[in-house]
Amino acid sequence: MTKPLSRSARRVQQAIENRGFDFIVQELPQSTRTAQDAATAVGCDVGQIVKSLIFRVEENDEPVLALVSGNNRVDMVKLAAVGAGNLAKADAEFVRACTGFAIGGIPPFGHDRDMRTFIDEDLLGYDRVWAAAGTPNAVFELDPAALPPLTSGVICELRSDT
């Protein structure tokens, strides 16, 4: 018998279904809080993990979401150049207020607030990727080509070269 999903993971599963997709949220016994943890848990390359990173626009506190390959760090200059604005790091309280999820389990969509989303083009180099699903041990697998329609996100170069 399969254990029912937690409330946050069910919320992500419902958001997937509401968008017309059939990806399945899985809650694992081990942590998926970091990209490395998630890659180990699902048995994939760390680059196949979708990191959901929330930033704050300095002028108006608007949240901005960057979906980044687990291998990559975000180049803030590149992110600003594609239209994100002058960004600052968001603290845990801001992240939870905007998304409804805690850091370590932020999915790429289904947040409490709408936000502009930018997708690391490196994710599209994989056949399959894994994203967080609402808790620090919940994930779902998807074709990275589904990220733009799921999130209304813009594909761009975000990888820092340093």
Distance CA 29, CA 66 (A): 27
* pTM for the predicted model, two decimal places: 0.95
CATH T-level fold of 7-156: YbaK protein (3.90.960)
| Six-digit token string for 81 | 């150049």
List, for residues 54-106, the tens digit of each pLDDT value.
999 999 999 999 999 999 999 999 999 988 778 998 999 999 999 999 999 99
- Helix (H), strand (E) counts: the chain: 5, 8
Nearest CA among 82, 74, 69 for reference residue 124: 69
| Six-digit token string for 41 | 């848990």
List, for residues 16-25, the tens digit of each pLDDT value.
999 999 999 9
Per-domain residue ranges of the chain: 7-156
Distance CA 76, CA 94 (A): 19
Give CA angle at 131 (155, 7), nearest 5°: 130
